């Protein structure tokens, strides 16, 4: 029998994690931002959001603030980026990395933001909605704070697209069943629901692009996929109890023979707020 799905993820409350885990989360976000496949996803999103000098943008669920600082470079010299995140510890870490660009770091809940209506020209919200209690309430808030004609860009994972090749079939199936059982329903399909959520809210000019990330080495995959990362502790959900060593040995063997493959689709969806 598969383990019961949890309704919340560690990213829903980073401040509630043990300090060692929240440090690991920050490192993971930083490493992910450097990964070529995540950079490919972000290039698609930049093209869809089309940031321009002078704009005020919101990065909702901004994590380490890396994207907010990149957006700030695009809207400079007169524009501004608000980097909003639920976690006080992640926000403090983002502030510690501040590079002098025009970013204002704030803590807040994307589902109930302390920002005036129609106050930003555009929104970036990356891999956040799979972690919030109500994606629709959060999208409603993102629309509320965006001026008519402003653009909203949502990026989220479709974890049900996760697949591996090069591992023994039986073991791969057991591991995948275990992993799937630990994703919340929102993690399973958030990416592919984004387009219809924007349609339902009356946005225009909607574009939806699935970016399938391809990982051809275990090292590259481990940055984004905890179930192949040997640094993720055994006591977490990432691998089935008792099978972790066997699974990771197979991952290593597939890497050594050059046959390792993992794929994961991340959706980039944008639309314009009606006037
Ligand atoms: C997977 S991380 C993504 C961070 C960043 N967008 C990136 O792509 O690197 C999810 C982020 O969403 C934040 N978050 C989770 N729930 C939130 C909420 N209700 N309101 C605002 N931020 C939230 C977490 O604290 C975390 O920093």
Using the mean position of ligand 1's atoms as its centre, give its distance from the Cα of residue 214 in Å. 23
Residue 71 confidence (pLDDT) above 80: yes
Using the mean position of ligand 1's atoms as its centre, give its distance from the Cα of residue 76 in Å. 24
Distance from C-alpha of 50 to C-alpha of 64, rounded to nearest angstrom: 22
Residue 1 confidence class, pLDDT cut points 50, 70, 90: very low
Evaluate: CB of 111 within 6 angstroms of ligand 1: yes
Distances (CA, A) of 30 to 9, 39, 93, 226: 19, 12, 11, 14
Evaluate: CB of 11 within 6 angstroms of ligand 1: yes
Q: Closest by alpha carbon to 72, among 105, 47, 96?
A: 105
Ligand 1 atom closest to residue 32's alpha carbon, by position in its atom list? 9
What pLDDT digit, counting tens, does each position of 212-253 carry? 999 999 999 999 999 999 988 777 778 888 899 999 999 999
Distance from C-alpha of 3 to C-alpha of 185, rounded to nearest angstrom: 13
- What does the domain layout of the chain look like in residue ranges? 12-272
Residue 7 confidence class, pLDDT cut points 50, 70, 90: low
Predicted confidence at residue 240, as pLDDT, reads: 86
What pLDDT digit, counting tens, does each position of 143-182 carry? 999 999 999 999 999 999 999 999 998 998 999 998 888 8
Mean pLDDT estimate for the chain: 93
Predicted confidence at residue 179, as pLDDT, reads: 87
Report the pLDDT averaged over residues 49-59.
Answer: 98
What pLDDT digit, counting tens, does each position of 255-264 carry? 999 999 999 9
Predicted confidence at residue 23, as pLDDT, reads: 83
Distance from C-alpha of 102 to C-alpha of 86, rounded to nearest angstrom: 20
What contacts 187, CB < 8 A, 6 or more positions away? 9, 130, 157, 159
User: Tokens standing for 46?
Assistant: 């930049």
Evaluate: CB of 91 within 6 angstroms of ligand 1: no
Using the mean position of ligand 1's atoms as its centre, give its distance from the Cα of residue 20 in Å. 18
From 10, 11, 33, give the residue whose CB has the most ligand 1 atoms within 8 Å, as the site to mutate.
Answer: 11
Ligand 1 atom closest to residue 138's alpha carbon, by position in its atom list? 19
What pLDDT digit, counting tens, does each position of 122-137 carry? 999 999 999 998 999 9
Q: How many CA within 13 A on the CB side of residue 248?
A: 20
Distance from C-alpha of 81 to C-alpha of 83, rounded to nearest angstrom: 6
Evaluate: CB of 65 within 6 angstroms of ligand 1: no
Pairing between β-strand 80-85 and β-strand 56-60 as defined by DSSP bridges: parallel
Evaluate: CB of 82 within 6 angstroms of ligand 1: no
Distance from C-alpha of 119 to C-alpha of 131, rounded to nearest angstrom: 25
Evaluate: CB of 132 within 6 angstroms of ligand 1: yes
Q: How many CA within 13 A on the CB side of residue 113?
A: 26
At the top level of CATH, the class of 12-272 is alpha beta
Predicted confidence at residue 24, as pLDDT, reads: 83
Evaluate: CB of 186 within 6 angstroms of ligand 1: no
């Amino acid at each position: 029998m598969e383990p019961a799905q949890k309704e919340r993820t560690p990213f829903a409350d980073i401040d509630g994690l043990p300090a060692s885990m929240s440090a690991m989360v920050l490192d993971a976000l930083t490493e992910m931002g450097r990964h070529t496949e995540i950079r490919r996803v972000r290039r698609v999103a930049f093209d869809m959001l089309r940031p321009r000098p002078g704009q005020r943008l919101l990065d909702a669920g901004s994590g380490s603030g890396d994207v907010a600082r990149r957006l700030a470079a695009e809207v400079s010299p007169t524009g501004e980026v608000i980097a909003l995140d639920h976690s006080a510890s992640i926000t403090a870490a983002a502030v510690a990395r501040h590079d002098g660009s025009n970013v204002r770091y704030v803590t807040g809940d994307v589902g109930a933001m302390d920002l005036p209506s129609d106050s930003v020209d555009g929104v970036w919200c990356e891999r956040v909605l799979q972690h919030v209690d109500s994606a629709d309430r959060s999208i409603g808030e993102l629309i509320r704070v965006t001026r008519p004609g402003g653009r909203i860009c949502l990026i989220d994972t479709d974890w049900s697209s996760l697949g591996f090749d090069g591992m023994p079939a039986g073991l791969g199936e057991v591991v995948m069943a275990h992993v799937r059982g630990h994703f919340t329903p929102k993690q399973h399909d958030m990416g592919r629901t984004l387009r219809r959520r924007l349609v339902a809210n009356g946005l225009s000019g909607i574009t939806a692009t699935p970016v399938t990330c391809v990982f051809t080495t275990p090292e590259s995959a481990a940055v984004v996929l905890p179930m192949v990362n040997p640094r993720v502790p055994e006591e977490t959900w990432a691998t089935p109890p008792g099978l972790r060593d066997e699974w990771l040995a197979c991952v290593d063997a597939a890497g050594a023979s050059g046959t390792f493959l993992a794929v994961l689709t991340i959706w980039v969806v944008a639309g314009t707020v009606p006037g």
